Structure 1
């Protein structure tokens, strides 16, 4: 018996030593990787907003300016990069990294919907892109554009919601499903993983393995450490942001297009219970349809064979509605 405990103790000490060595190696690997990442030249430009630098990526010239707002996502402007490459340069397209995401500095402003909209408005002014703006918001980004429309309606000529999050989703979902879809990321674990080099391995291949996403797939694991804290901070404020956004119920007469994912299998990997999955599909469809009430000039477009990330699953659909709205705005002049 004593021999057993002796060997058990040795094995335990050996495993502990191995774990410590792996953590040290991971920590060193992360430090070296971050040092290398700091040498990468940003793909866009910077403007100072409220005493900190925000990064943006702009293509084209002339108005209107299509302004992309990203989801709850560490990839920032990279989620729109491939779409911007395909849009005509006869008008301006503009994506950016919210404060603390990728190349944008965190600054001191709180992570509230009002302040995020204010920072974006100042960034657009500082970057001298032409007005008016067409706002394109995916998921959480669709919630955030509500604040921009509410605060600067005179600058907005159109809104496109890409499978947008519904800020008052609680009234559409059962308590069980609401808790499931709003449980969020494990913040403590991700901070640990980000410190010891695990996060960059976990988020490798975040974009589809296609040629048009080669740049994003190379950048995302490399730059993830820059976004991690800000993304978790946005998660901490998600509930209050949604609560405030739910109070914004009208865009007036501003044209609104609603892109909705309609692949019936889009929740197969995330929701195993058949009844909950059916509830989620029906509830999401109802939320998306109710977005029509936001504007007196609204239209919903169902996107087949697409999951929540329509900008990746069917970028052509996003490009088409953007070009259609630009044409509509230009012909109104």
Structure 2
């Protein structure tokens, strides 16, 4: 369905019912289809909201640059339009963790519990991820330019599916995203504003709040072919960064999920969604 807020029009999917509402906030470049399996799993226990941020999927266009602070304002705008009355758990993956973390600081009464799935962190972005981020930013610019001149129209859909290894029920959405100027314009803006977003999160980390906060860290922190020693060193650093989120509340907890990567920790298939869903279910039960 479509929801009209003060800041834009949002494509929203609501599934399930219950005394608790769960908001799932996408990572960079993703649409609400990222949450297909986890939303289905969690809808057994709660009302679950997924949505496309402005500029993504079927949501409307944006007029203000894509800092995560601005996107937190828009997330709140969407929640107001939905008129949510029940206790709200906000779950954010990757860059989406920035958005829900800012949401909790900008609107302290908006959410009652927070879960961050392998969250982005300012220090991680400024050091360990810096080179990788530059490559992705340049790739996003290339895709934006290619779509501006309709160059992606000639790419066979079968080739896109093969490269992305997309599940059959998400193929149309992924093809649409790859061949969308609006999509890549949004991605480029998010990358352009990442330094600003990092600074704002540094400020937000100084504000303490007394709400439950759970951080889940993926044990496999690199898609690169690092040796075992370097992988352990990187994981140790990421765990240290993630603990900083937990230290902003006296109800903060963190755990490392063995066998998970940054791309599986949000429940990218039925099996992973079930295991992640059981962890989130415990947080739902605390608010019931």
TM range (shorter): 0.7 to 0.9
* CA spacing shift, 1:99–1:295, aligned 2, 3 Å: same
* CA spacing shift, 1:149–1:205, aligned 2, 3 Å: farther
Q: How many residues align?
A: 275
Match for residue 106 of structure 2?
Answer: 151
Are 1:188 and 2:141 an aligned pair?
A: yes
Q: C-alpha deviations, 1:268-325, integer Å up to 9, x for none? A: x425577765543332122123322122101112211111121227322321122111
Match for residue 217 of structure 1?
Answer: 171
Are 1:297 and 2:257 an aligned pair?
A: no
- Aligned counterparts of 2:164 and 2:113: Cα–Cα separation in 1: 28
Are 1:60 and 2:13 an aligned pair?
A: no
1:205 Cα shift? Answer: 5.1
Residue 211 of structure 2 aligns to a residue in which SS? coil
Match for residue 257 of structure 1?
Answer: 214
Root-mean-square deviation (CA, aligned residues, Å) is 2.6
Q: C-alpha deviations, 1:143-199, integer Å up to 9, x for none? A: 11111000111121100010111123367x4xxx45323313323321244331249
- Which 5+ residue runs of structure 1 have no aligned equivalent? 1-44
- Aligned counterparts of 1:203 and 1:102: Cα–Cα separation in 2: 17
* CA spacing shift, 1:130–1:205, aligned 2, 3 Å: farther
Match for residue 38 of structure 2?
Answer: 83
Q: Which has the higher contact order (CA 8 A, sep 6+)?
A: 2
- Aligned counterparts of 1:296 and 1:114: Cα–Cα separation in 2: 24
1:51 Cα shift? Answer: 5.5
Match for residue 130 of structure 2?
Answer: 179
Alignment check: 8 A CA contact 1:92 1:129 kept? no
Residue 185 of structure 1 aligns to a residue in which SS? helix
1:260 Cα shift? Answer: 0.9
- Aligned counterparts of 2:262 and 2:214: Cα–Cα separation in 1: 16
Residue 253 of structure 1 aligns to a residue in which SS? coil
- Aligned counterparts of 1:257 and 1:165: Cα–Cα separation in 2: 14
- Aligned counterparts of 2:108 and 2:239: Cα–Cα separation in 1: 27
Residue 247 of structure 2 aligns to a residue in which SS? helix
State the structure with more CA Rg. Answer: 1
